[in-house]
Amino acid sequence: MRIIYTDVLVVGGGLAGLRVATGVQERGHRVIVLTLVPPKRSHSAAAQGGMQASLGNCAMGWGDNEDIHFEDTVKGSDWGADQQVVRMFVNTAPKAIRELTHYGVPWNRVRKGKHTAIINAEKVEIEEREEAHGLITARDFGGTKKWRTCYTSDGTGHSMLYAMDNKAHENDVKIHERMEAMSVIHRHGRCYGVVARNLMTGEIVAYIAKATTIATGGYGRIYEVSTNAIICQGTGQAIALETGIATLGNMEAVQFHPTAIVPVGILTTEGCRGDGGILRDVDGYRFMPDYEPEKKELASRDVVSRRMIEHIRKGKGVPSRYGDHLWLDITILGREHIEKNLREVKDICENFLGIDPAEEWIPVRPTQHYSMGGIRTKYTGESQTLKGLYACGEAACWDLHGFNRLGGNSVSETVVSGMLVAEYISDFCDSPQSHIGISTGAIEDFVRIEEEKIRRLLNNDGGEDAYVLRRAMEKIMMEKVGIFRNGRDLQDAVEQLEQLHIRSKNISVFRSKSYAANPALVVAYRTQKMIKIALTVAYGALLRTESRGAHAREDYPMRDDINWLKRTITSWPDPEQTLPTVTYEPIDILEMELPPGWRGYGKRNIIENPDSMIQQAKIDAIRNELLARGADRFAIQKALMPYEHLLPEKYRGRNERLYERFDDEKDEV
């Protein structure tokens, strides 16, 4: 048996994982990153459109600040987000982007003078300020009041991930590639690392650490069609769930992106619409203004996706061999713009559709895209129930996105949460509580369990075929746990998935019996985990009898702030149970800085909670009083919902902008 000891173990080499790793290493802790693929191949590389940070450099972003970013994010989440976390995030995002600049990300820059842009299908002239020349520019994205999404053409994730990985290289961060975390090692409510399997040799290794971070990305691949990479299979969430102690949050909150190409489900970035692209139906008619007169194509993703499906259901879809779709028209942006700022989109259209998007419309349909749910953590990234286990990035639910994430907030979150969690972990490692109290014998038990599982899969003859089970699961999720959900389908889905789960205990590996590099074996054990994750999603969706953000129930179309303003918490305490255990964590309106209301887009279908009005009145009173006393926005914010004390000290400072300088004393009234 091989045991590898380190201070901090990070599972996942995407943006989030790498940022945690460099952070803790800079604080003097030894770190090892485990990853399925070389970090540069992580799915973060696929992010196209951009990263939100309220820099306010470009003309259309002028006047932007943390307050507006906060409001956009909370509304986007349909009030599901943890507002303190949102505050921490929006205050750190500008710092993160400036840090990334130092790491080498070649952000697109403001060019002084006039340029034209397409807004609401019309050419508009915009003039950029002289003093902003050379600062980071931004584009428009859905659900935001300002142009806030910073980008490098449409290869933002690629540039960010490469810069981050290069940074990790420079710092000599230890990366163990092709190592898959198989289970979490824990004892007496304390996590001590993971059991991992070497995908090339098949060797099972124990990694023991004071703190373990799961940054394994989303679980999109439980759906048949998804914009996610093949490796986004939710195994990180699954191993946390399988501890029986750690919990998952809001697993039913699954985002569908409006514009993935048909049929393969490859994404065309929201930047297409942000830069002025529009949606058209079978008649070539631009339908979104009819549904969303205010934000049109740029309402939040959940809203646009639903409107598209509604429109298709009215018979306005474009029929095709692969079902109905709609058109995304970016021809109006002009070839030059497309070749410069949407090159990846152009490439994708040429390669996967054989069309030229500067000339032709792109066939699109809403497609699974993002997992708002994940390992439930405190604001520090630590599991609420399993000490020493941390999570961040898409794998986690610390709860920045609630029931719907805004475009551009995710890559931003990966880096911000990485920065913050690295500090909290370092503090933990510096404390005596981080002592590793597990014997070699106990570690061995965890290793044996995994070895035994593999042996059983390989030796089992005549059992179930993992491919068959996986296809069945993917289909159920697609057909019954999609954009619009209803009780009958969800009930069906849960029952069928439960059966698949039971059958998955009897999987055989048919095609190859090798312990080493054996893709059939990998499919087998991952399928077992994926079905569990699918169950948490479907079951959570069945129980939540309201519509909030991306979770839309046709039989319960109202957002119910009286009964459902709460987070879904899922666990699997007994390995023998065939359905997860679901409980709820309330979200208190009386502690909110922004009480629930209408989002400004989407349907006004709300069962209001009387607390919302009470809290709003309280907030108005405080605000008015402070304004009368001449207080600035920081003082007002602090009075409403203090959060700065939660941030690591080094990230508490204010962010300067061209229009907002803090030359003197930074302290507030």
Partner 1 sequence: MSTERITKKLTFKTFRFNSETDFLPYFKTYEMEVGKDELVLDILNRIKWEFDGSFSYRRSCRHGICGACAIKVNGKPVLSCKQNVWELVDIFQTDTLLLEPQSKKRVVKDMIIDRSDFWKKHAQLKPYLEAEIDEHPEEEIKVSPKEAEELLEADYCIQCGSCYYACPVVEVNEEYFGPAQFAKAYRFNADVRDTAKTDRLETVREMGPGVWDCVKCFECAEACPKDVNPIEKITKLHNQLFEEGLAQDNVATRHAVGFKHSIIKHGILDEGELVRYSEGNIGVLKHLPEAIAMFKKGKIVMPWNMPKSKNLDEIQTLVKSSSKVKF
Ligand X SMILES: Cc1cc2nc3c(=O)[nH]c(=O)nc-3n(C[C@H](O)[C@H](O)[C@H](O)COP(=O)(O)OP(=O)(O)OC[C@H]3O[C@@H](n4cnc5c(N)ncnc54)[C@H](O)[C@@H]3O)c2cc1C
Please report, as residue ranges, which positions from 431 to 490 form the binding site for partner 1 (by CB under 8 A): 467
Min dist. Cβ of residue 601 to partner 1 (A): 29
CA–chain centroid gap for 120, Å, is 28
Min dist. Cβ of residue 234 to partner 1 (A): 15
> Using CB distances below 5 to 8 A depending on partner kind, what does residue 321 bind out of partner 1, ligand X, none?
partner 1
With contacts defined by CB under 8 A, how many residues of the chain interact with partner 1?
71
Take residue 242 and report the two structure tokens written for it.
């399988």
- Which is nearest to 499 in space by CA: 539, 469, 475, 541? 469
C-beta contacts of 574-582 below 8 A and 24+ residues apart: 574/244, 575/242, 575/244, 578/498, 578/501, 578/502, 579/494, 579/498, 579/535, 579/539, 580/241, 580/532, 580/535, 580/536, 580/539, 582/539, 582/540, 582/543
Min dist. Cβ of residue 517 to ligand X (A): 16
Binding residue for partner 1, selected from 27, 30, 98, 187, defined by CB under 8 A: 98
Select 109 or 378, whichever has its Cβ closest to partner 1.
109
Q: Is 133 in the site for partner 1 (CB under 8 A)?
A: yes
The Cβ-side half-sphere exposure at 216, using a 13 Å CA radius, reads: 30
Take residue 476 and report the two structure tokens written for it.
């159920």
Which residue shows structure tokens 């474009």? 318
Question: In whole angstroms, what is the distance from residue 446 CA to residue 186 CA?
Answer: 9
Binding residues among 263-322 for partner 1 as defined by CB under 8 A: 264, 266-267, 319-321
Catalytic residue among 29, 197, 273, 470: 273
Q: Which stretch binds partner 1 (CB under 8 A): 13-21, 82-90, 181-189, 261-269?
A: 261-269
Under 8 Å between Cβ of 7 and 211: yes
Concatenating the DSSP letter of every residue in 137-174 gives --B--TT-SS--EE-STT-HHHHHHHHHHHHHHHTT-E
> Using CB distances below 5 to 8 A depending on partner kind, what does residue 12 bind out of partner 1, ligand X, none?
ligand X
Binding residues among 347-366 for partner 1 as defined by CB under 8 A: 347-348, 351-352
257 is catalytic: yes
Q: What track of x and - describes contact with partner 1 for positions 173 through 212 (by CB under 8 A)?
A: ---------------------------x------------
Q: Is 512 in the site for partner 1 (CB under 8 A)?
A: yes
Q: What track of x and - describes contact with ligand X for positions 381 through 420 (by CB under 6 A)?
A: ------------xxx-----------xxxxxx-x------
273 is catalytic: yes
Which residue shows structure tokens 């569990």? 532
Binding residue for partner 1, selected from 136, 308, 330, 389, defined by CB under 8 A: 136
CA dihedral of residues 482, 485, 486, 492 (deg, nearest 10): 20
Q: Is 104 in the site for partner 1 (CB under 8 A)?
A: yes
Question: In whole angstroms, what is the distance from residue 574 CA to residue 242 CA?
Answer: 9
DSSP bridge pairs for 502:
none
Q: What track of x and - describes contact with ligand X for positions 201 through 240 (by CB under 6 A)?
A: --------------xxx---------xx--xx--xx----
> Using CB distances below 5 to 8 A depending on partner kind, what does residue 155 bind out of partner 1, ligand X, none?
partner 1
Question: In whole angstroms, what is the distance from residue 252 CA to residue 543 CA?
Answer: 10
Under 8 Å between Cβ of 390 and 211: yes
Select 276 or 596, whichever has its Cβ closest to ligand X.
276
SS (H, E, C) 602-648: CCCCEECCHHHHHHHHHHHHHHHHHHHCCCCHHHHHHHHCCCHHHCC
With contacts defined by CB under 6 A, how many residues of the chain interact with ligand X?
47
Min dist. Cβ of residue 404 to ligand X (A): 13
By annotation, the residues acting in catalysis are: 257, 273
Where does this chain bind ligand X (CB under 6 A)?
11-17, 34-37, 39, 42-44, 46-51, 156-157, 180-181, 215-217, 227-228, 231-232, 235-236, 267, 269, 370, 393-395, 407-412, 414
